Amino acid sequence: MTRFDPNYYVGLADDAAMIQAAVDAACETGETVTIPRRNLRTGTEIWMLPRAVRLHTGSVICLDNCHLRQCDGIFDNIFKNSHARTARAATRAGRQYDIHIYGLGNAILDGGNHNGLVERNSRKDGRPHIIVNTTLHFHNCERVIVENVSILHQRWWGITFHYCANCRVSNIRFMGSSNAPNQDGIDLRTGCSGFVIENISGYTQDDSVALTCLNHGFDESMAVAEMDTSIHNVVIRNITTATVCAQVRLLNQDGRKLYNVLIENVQNYCEIDPSDPNAEGYVLRIPYSEEYLLGSETSMAMEEPYWLTFREETRAGASVRIGENHYYRDNDPKNCAVLGDTYNVIVRNVQSHARYGVTVSCTLCDAVIENVQMYGDAISPVYFGPGSYECISVREIGYARNARPQPRDFAVSDDERRYGSRYGYDQIAAVYFNGSKATGLRFDGVRANACIPAVFGGRDCDVTLKAENIEMRGDETALVHGDGVHADIRK
């Protein structure tokens, strides 16, 4: 046994101290720290962490078929870089490099019982900011790799980056249990670039992958002096997750830029074909698989949950969600993103039974959306909400033959009433415009099922588009329904 094995420090007070001692020793030599399955201090096959393990420049952590679980009632991450959320991280000189966490076998990072800290009570009554509840946090780092890990019972977001560059996150399996709100998977926040995020699976109660570029609230406090604030040059691929929100979400406001993003190969998790007449008789396995959860129970964040759970809703809101008409500084619409803030986004190869394949809101230009195929209880391949759009190409979108929206989708939902008709289910169409202003839209290859009233629908919009290669499977399906859609269509 070497001093880079936590079991070398069996005499220390707790498991976090053992792991930290090995990490600190390896920092001096560049060796890899290997955390084995068996904990010799306790004689068990679990490591209980009362605080985060702090990683240094050059830290390499091998999770060798091990299970790390957070202790009850603590407010900290499992791993973070040692400068994270300190004054040093706010400077270019405080940047850290070459941190690598990788798993062998079934490597598990487990949030355990929830500590009761949620966004509603963050920084209230003596509680810390909820960033302490993200499983892993990296702040002002470069060349971070996280791979081959299962994240279980996360207390909030799974993996969060602020002002990080040239990183890779791959082969991550999430298994939230809907015991807390906003259980995102991977979050790139302001100042992140040069990322590859790939091979992400499992269940996230909220967005599976989110790119969020803001300049207010906690994100403002994470600023790094003299560093670019945009999110750009990001590849997101092979996302096969279940969620009640979006599988991939892009959001920028407050004058921040979001550009050069490639999203490809997104499959909305489908354990059971929603069109199967026997679907209601089948038992869903996730997120309640006892084998996956290893008999590891967890508590709810609050006694009266105010969030959707997987048991209540199995269909995602959208597979890919671009833009948002909220979340700007001081809730002042003047700080909303404008045309040119979000651009060069490519979305391709989406297979989904979410409500929408791709939704676009607020603004987008110079973008491509292609090969979006809907099945099961899906509503629309592409939806444009309130906002300004320009020069977007949409190619090869449509429905599987057996796709059937649910009757409830033709009515205004509770969320519609609560949030002022953000989506507009009053009319279903293969492509729907709700309060949109758009020029230079080009559509090539749109397939509408017989149950879909229109190929293009809209309300309160001013949209100019060109379209060709339209296929309508129903004799009563209209090419255009609604007001404000000016379409030049060649069948």
pLDDT exceeds cutoff 60 at 288: no
With beta carbons less than 8 A apart as the criterion, state whether 131 and 187 touch: no
Question: In a 3-state reduction of DSSP, which class is residue 244?
Answer: coil
Look at residue 419 in the predicted model and tell me its pLDDT. 44
List pLDDT tens digits, range 239-285: 999 998 999 999 999 999 999 999 999 999 888 877 778 877 887 76
Amino acid in the structure at residue 421: S
User: Using H for helix, E for strand and C for coil, what is the string for 31-90?
Assistant: CCEEECCCECCCCECCEEECCCEEECCCCEEEEECCEEEECCCCCCCCEEECCCCCHHHH
Q: Which residues contact 168 (CB under 8 A, 6 or more apart)?
A: 144, 145, 146, 147, 195, 196, 197, 198
- Average pLDDT of span 52-65: 98
Backbone angles phi, psi at 490, to 5 degrees: -115, 115
Look at residue 399 in the predicted model and tell me its pLDDT. 95
DSSP string, 456-478: EEEES-EEEEEEEEEEESSTT-E
Tell me the C-alpha distance between 450 and 36, whole Å. Answer: 57
- Average pLDDT of span 374-403: 94
**Spatial CA neighbour of 243 closest among 325, 185, 163:** 185
Backbone angles phi, psi at 219, to 5 degrees: -60, -35
Two structure tokens written together for 128: 């810390």
The Cα angle at residue 31 between residues 27 and 36, in degrees rounded to 5? 105
Between 52-56, 282-286, 291-295, the lowest mean confidence (pLDDT) is in 291-295
The CATH 2.160.20 portion of the chain extends over: 59-378
Between 123-137, 197-211, 467-481, the lowest mean confidence (pLDDT) is in 467-481
Between 129-143, 197-211, 410-424, 437-451, the lowest mean confidence (pLDDT) is in 410-424
With beta carbons less than 8 A apart as the criterion, state whether 258 and 232 touch: yes
pLDDT confidence of 295, banded at 50, 70, 90?
low
Q: Which residues contact 360 (CB under 8 A, 6 or more apart)?
A: 322, 323, 382, 383, 384, 385, 387, 389, 392
With beta carbons less than 8 A apart as the criterion, state whether 18 and 10 touch: yes
Is the bond into 333 cis (omega within 30 degrees of 0)?
no
Backbone angles phi, psi at 25, to 5 degrees: -65, -40
Per-residue CA distances from 212 to 197, 291, 430 (Å): 15, 34, 28
User: Nearest 10 degrees: CA dihedral of 373, 379, 381, 382?
Assistant: -170
Tell me the C-alpha distance between 455 and 446, whole Å. Answer: 8
Q: Which residues contact 475 (CB under 8 A, 6 or more apart)?
A: 450
Tell me the C-alpha distance between 372 and 347, whole Å. Answer: 9
DSSP string, 429-446: EEEEEESEEEEEEEEEEE
pLDDT confidence of 423, banded at 50, 70, 90?
very low
Q: What is the largest CA-CA distance in the chain?
A: 77
DSSP string, 254-283: TT--EEEEEEEEEE---SS-TT-TTGGGSP
pLDDT exceeds cutoff 50 at 422: no
Amino acid in the structure at residue 392: I
Tell me the C-alpha distance between 49 and 65, whole Å. Answer: 17
Look at residue 271 in the predicted model and tell me its pLDDT. 81
Between 137-151, 335-349, 404-418, the lowest mean confidence (pLDDT) is in 404-418
Per-residue CA distances from 341 to 170, 382, 390 (Å): 28, 21, 12
With beta carbons less than 8 A apart as the criterion, state whether 63 and 102 touch: yes
Look at residue 313 in the predicted model and tell me its pLDDT. 67
Look at residue 413 in the predicted model and tell me its pLDDT. 56
Backbone angles phi, psi at 343, to 5 degrees: -155, 170
Do strands 231-242 and 96-104 pair parallel, antiparallel, or not at all (unpaired)? unpaired
Beta bridge partners of 55: 81
Question: In a 3-state reduction of DSSP, which class is residue 15?
Answer: helix
Tell me what percent of the residues of the chain surpass a pLDDT of 70.
92
- Average pLDDT of span 191-219: 96
Look at residue 289 in the predicted model and tell me its pLDDT. 47
Look at residue 286 in the predicted model and tell me its pLDDT. 64
Burial track 328-363 (b if 16+ CB lie within 10 A, e otherwise): bbeeeeebbbeeebbbbbebbbbbbbbbbbbbbbbb
Mean pLDDT of the chain: 91
Q: What is the CATH number of domain 59-378?
A: 2.160.20
pLDDT confidence of 297, banded at 50, 70, 90?
low
**Spatial CA neighbour of 362 closest among 334, 387, 392, 389:** 387
Tell me the C-alpha distance between 22 and 29, whole Å. Answer: 11
With beta carbons less than 8 A apart as the criterion, state whether 108 and 150 touch: yes
Q: How far is CA 336 from the centre of its chain?
A: 21
